[in-house]
Structure 1
Amino acid sequence: SQLKDAGLTVFHVVPTLRAALKAVDAGVDGLVVEGSEGGGFKNPSDVSTMVLLPLVASKVEVPVIAAGGFVDGRTMAAALALGAEAIQMGTRMVATVESPIHENWKQAIVDASETDTVLLNRHAAPSLRVLRTDRSNALEFDTSTNAMEHMARHSELYFGGDMDAALALGGAVAGRIESIEPVADVIKNCSNECLEVLRNLGSTYVK
């Protein structure tokens, strides 16, 4: 309530329906509904965006932004069909010209396949989806170590480019990112493709 009292619009990131309903009851203006394929900090009980987004959208009356797995106009069109008003792109924006992180991290995203992320810390909280590196591979099936202990040297990764200094947060959608582009191009291409996809769907299936 302090944020809203200050005149701010509040959107809360939620990984489950329960969290979404709790946030709405607390008075948020909207929700960012993020599935487990998204990069970064996650709920240990993971739910994909395809399941979570339409579920939450059907139960709340506040605006919903979809996150986790969105990278272009085609995925944006899917989000709109599933009940979202907009999308949030994280990993795609990391791999942009303007992103301040080291080029090694950006290139690791471009080089990644669709299986080159790992969900760590299922036994603890928070879980993390990160890019596959020697460090994250060693932790993938480790149920005794809290992966957060491996974030202490994050500045050496973010700005120094040492991909094994810490865990490089990243979503599974890295497997669909093929180049480092200017932010303006990412947004323009996403918007244009989304409209094209929606028009094509309408002309194909609406008779």
Structure 2
Amino acid sequence: MIETKLTKLLGIKYPLVGGTMMWITTADFVAAISNAGGLGVLASAVYQSKEEFEVAVDAIQKKTDKPFAVNINLFPAMRAIDNNEYVDVMIDKGVKIVETSGHSAPEELCKRFKDAGMTWIHKCVGVKYALKVQGMGADVVTVVGYENGGATGRLDIGTMVLVPTVVDAVNLPVIGGGGISDGRGVAAILSLGAEGVIMGSRIMATKECPIHDNLKQAFVGASELDTMLVMRSINATHRVWINDAAQKCRELEENQASFEELYEVIKGDNAKKMYDEGDLGAGIVSLGQGVGMTHDVPTVAELFERIMKEAEERLVKLNGQIK
């Protein structure tokens, strides 16, 4: 069993964190990740009202007695979001772990996290931002390298450089990721000094993930070459699966299309249609280069057990090679 500062701090079996994914990391999937020994993270931005969010938190707490977190999204949104409403529910329901992503959390939110006794994880893009939130009281920072699916940030730094650079800079446990799909990747991230590993793309191809089987099978058949970068023209670079919508987005960007034109392609409603109905060209879907190591669709528990067994075997083998 691999035990780290993160597993001890959060009370989880494995040093594995499920990446927050819009429309995907909802209550049932979050509970499945936590029950499998990792940390499931609920995407609060999925929920349009305080009441809907409250129902989701209740559902998780009915399905698992294991630790889970809630993500508070600090990126600019198409609709106004009062994150204090989500925090109200979290405090009322006794949620003990909060993840923020995007711009650094406002001081008033940080104070609320601390006053409620929450463990605060902040996901950021590099050293400068990690140091800033360390000074604001964050307990853990998460960074993902350029290989990752979804927002890649502005720095274009690969996982093998980004993770140890942040580990060296802060005095907090670091969660690292970007392209991690198996136990070899987990062993590598831990060897770089991180205390935990975040995975998103790989756990999309699991039985419990609430996306259409057409998409899961497409990922199983994909290679490391089947992703591309889009939305760089609007300063929101994302790595996504190459499909009709992604290629249309790139074409529009090359022709200097307006944001309104791009939005009709990249909007979340299109992605949700793909997830629900299996129309593989309907919208863009975040996907990392590690999809090339996705070869089956197990349960989350089966995947985590396999990954951690492989990670342990790799670390033992490497230790045995030291003379």
TM-score (norm 2): 0.61
Tell whether the 8 Å contact from 1:44 to 1:121 is kept in structure 2 after alignment: no
Structure 2 residue corresponding to 1:169, chosen from 286, 303, 314: 286
Q: Which residue of 2 aligns with 1:3?
A: 113
Q: Pick the structure with more helix per residue.
A: 2
CA contact (8 A) 1:118 1:140 kept: no
Q: CA RMSD in A?
A: 1.5
What is the CA distance between 1:171 and its match in structure 2? 0.8
Instruction: Provide runs of 4+ in structure 1 moved above 3 Å.
Output: 145-149
Q: How does 1:52-201 map to 2 (within 5 A)?
A: 52-140=162-250, 142-143=253-254, 144-145=256-257, 146=259, 147-149=262-264, 150-151=266-267, 152-201=269-318
Q: Which has the higher contact order (CA 8 A, sep 6+)?
A: 1
Shift of 1:35: 1.0
Which stretch has the larger CA shift, 102-111 or 57-66?
A: 102-111
Secondary structure in 2 aligned to 1:140? helix
1:85-109 CA-to-partner distances (Å, cap 9, x unmatched) read 1111111111101111111221121
State the alpha-carbon separation in 1 of the partners of residues 302 and 143 from structure 2. 25
Counterpart code for 1:81: S
Q: Which runs of 5+ in 2 are unaligned?
A: 1-109
Contact 1:105/1:168, CA 8 A, preserved across alignment: no
Which range is displaced more, 195-204 or 19-28? 19-28
Which residue in 1 is equivalent to 2:320? 203
Cα distance in 2 for residues equivalent to 1:187 and 1:121: 32
Residue 29 of structure 1 pairs with residue 139 of structure 2: yes
Counterparts of 1:24 and 1:124 in 2: how far apart (Å)? 29
Question: Where does the alignment leave 5 or more consecutive residues of structure 1 unmatched?
Answer: none
1:187 partner letter: F
Q: Once the 2 structures are TM-superposed, how far is the Cα of residue 50 of structure 1 from its aligned partner?
A: 1.1
Give the distance between the partners of 2:148 and 2:177, measured in 1 at CA.
Answer: 7
Q: Percent identity?
A: 37
Residue 238 of structure 2 aligns to a residue whose secondary structure is strand
| Residue 166 (structure 1) shift | 1.0
Counterparts in 2 of 1:120 and 1:44: CA distance versus 1, 3 Å: farther
Q: Please state how far the C-alpha of 1:18 moved relative to its aligned partner.
A: 1.3
Larger Rg: 2
Partner of 1:49: 159
State the alpha-carbon separation in 2 of the partners of residues 185 and 148 from structure 1. Answer: 38
Q: Distance in 2 between matches of 1:155 and 1:140?
A: 20
In 2, Cα distance between equivalents of 1:124 and 1:176: 30
- How far apart in 1 are the matches of 2:306 and 2:127? 31
One-letter amino acid of the structure 2 residue matched with residue 190 of structure 1: I
SS in 2 for 1:58: helix
